[in-house]
Amino acid sequence: MRETYFSHAIRETLAEEMARDERVIMLGEDIAEYGGAFKITAGFAERFGKERVRNTPIAEGGFTGVAIGAALTGLRPVVEMMFMDFITLALDQLINHAAKFRYQYGEQARVPLVVRCPAGAGRSYGPTHSQSLERHLVATPGLVVVAPSTAHDAKGLLKSAIRCDDPVIFIESKVLYGRRGDVPEGDYTVPLGEAKVVRDGEDCTIVAYSRMTEESLRAAEALAAKSVSCEVIDLRTLAPMDTETVAESVRKTGRVVVTEEGPLTGGIGAEVVARVVESCFDYLQAPPQRVAASDTPVPASRVLEEAAIPSARQIAEAVVRSIRAG
């Protein structure tokens, strides 16, 4: 198996899909010669031409809408949202257009769109360049929301997303861009809508996604040294959510800790906990725990940012609280 960067896995996937299917085009700010803010599309304009690798004005709502219209009429656009924070400018197009066309216009309508979103904190970019806004998207029926945690899954899930006939929000942790992992060469897919048990355990289930998966694995490793066995689940797709994989684990462990990079209130953790309580209340030995960012904007200072965003230590503490509770 070949080891490569998460960011390179995404670049490779985009290139492979553009080579495989001429209908795949890209739209976004500075994605052509510049290669995108994170250099994901470096070299694409030269290879595929600027008709298919299309620099846009700074108009997130407009170019997302253009991509939706193109998707509705035969193309398979991949939009790069330079920072996920900017998706707020495109929410009308995503919520009122992309998410609803299939339902309101019927089977004739398909919106095979991917919106790639470099997301999350960890780089001291401050309040408007560090957010994890997926909570706002999972609450809209009709949008698929995907958030890989490894280079392997980034490639397989992105392939599935590009081949999917629904609008997919594809969340890429900026911190994970720099991680390396095993990535098969050539074509493979990871199915959308399926969570994965990434570590088996008996005492407590930790539910995570994106960058918090590696923090959760770190926590599980530390706890294993104290003879606490954690099962770690990587949700991978946030909507539609694979409740069954989580429930099955919680029925075994009787405890659940959910972690995310976004703030506590109204987050993904709240949704996971609600589903766990609904589906396996009788199996719970302790109250579910949420480990999330502080209910604040994401501050820029490294010290403050670290205080705001959850880490392995807080996840481990939540597991311990859960075990002590019952």
Partner 1 sequence: MKYDHDEIIEHYRLMLVIRRFEDVLDQLFGEGVIVGTSHFCAGQEACAVGAVAALRPSDLVSSNHRGHGHFLAKGGEPRRLMAELFGKATGYAGGRGGSQHMAEFSLGFLGTHGITGGMIPVATGAALSQKLLNTGNVVLCFFGDGATGSGAFHEAVNMGAIWELPIVYFCENNLYAMSMPVAEAFKVTSIAERAAAYGLPGVVVDGNDYFAVREATGEAAEHARSAHGPTLVEAHTYRHYGHSKSDDCGYRSAEEEAAWRARDPLKLMRERLIAEGSLTEAAAEALAQEAEQIIADAIEFARNSPDPDPETLCDGVFADFD
Does residue 100 belong to the site contacting partner 1 (CB under 8 A)?
A: yes
Catalytic status, residue 97: no
Phi-psi group of 120: left, alpha or beta (phi > 0 → left; psi -120 to 50 → alpha; rest → beta): left
Per DSSP, 251 falls in state H
Assess 78 for contact with partner 1 (CB under 8 A): no
Asked if 103 touches partner 1 (CB under 8 A), the answer is yes
Active site residue 60: yes
**Positions 300 through 319 that interact with partner 1 (CB under 8 A):** none
The three-state secondary structure class of 144 is strand
User: In this structure, what token pair is assigned to residue 167?
Assistant: 């609008």
Closest contact distance (angstroms) between CB of 171 and partner 1 is 18
Report the residue number, 54 or 290, with the smaller CB distance to partner 1.
Answer: 54
How far is residue 167's CA from residue 142's CA, in Å, rounded to a whole number? 8
Residue 165 is a binding residue for partner 1 (CB under 8 A): yes
Greatest CA span in the chain, whole angstroms? 61
Task: Give, in order, the Cα–Cα distances in Å from 314 to each of 190, 234, 274, 301, 310.
Answer: 30, 18, 21, 20, 6
**Candidates 50-58, 126-134, 201-209, 297-305 — which segment interacts with partner 1 by CB under 8 A?**
50-58
Q: Cis bond leading into 141, ω under 30°?
A: no
Tell whether residue 93 is a contact of partner 1 (CB under 8 A): yes
CA distance 169 to 222: 33
User: From the centroid of its chain, how far is CA 169?
Assistant: 8
For residue 281, count other CB atoms closer than 10 A to its CB. 9
| Catalytic residue, candidates 16, 29, 129, 231 | 129
Stretch that binds partner 1, among 103-111, 123-131, 207-215, 315-323 (CB under 8 A): 103-111
Q: Which of 9, 32, 67, 272 binds partner 1 (CB under 8 A)?
A: 67
Catalytic, out of 12, 17, 60, 261: 60
Q: Which residue of 94, 169, 192, 223 would you call a contact of partner 1, by CB under 8 A?
A: 192
Positions annotated as catalytic residues are 60, 129
Interacting residues with partner 1 (CB under 8 A)? 25, 51-52, 54, 56-57, 59, 61-75, 77, 92-93, 96-97, 100-111, 141-142, 144, 164-166, 192-193, 240
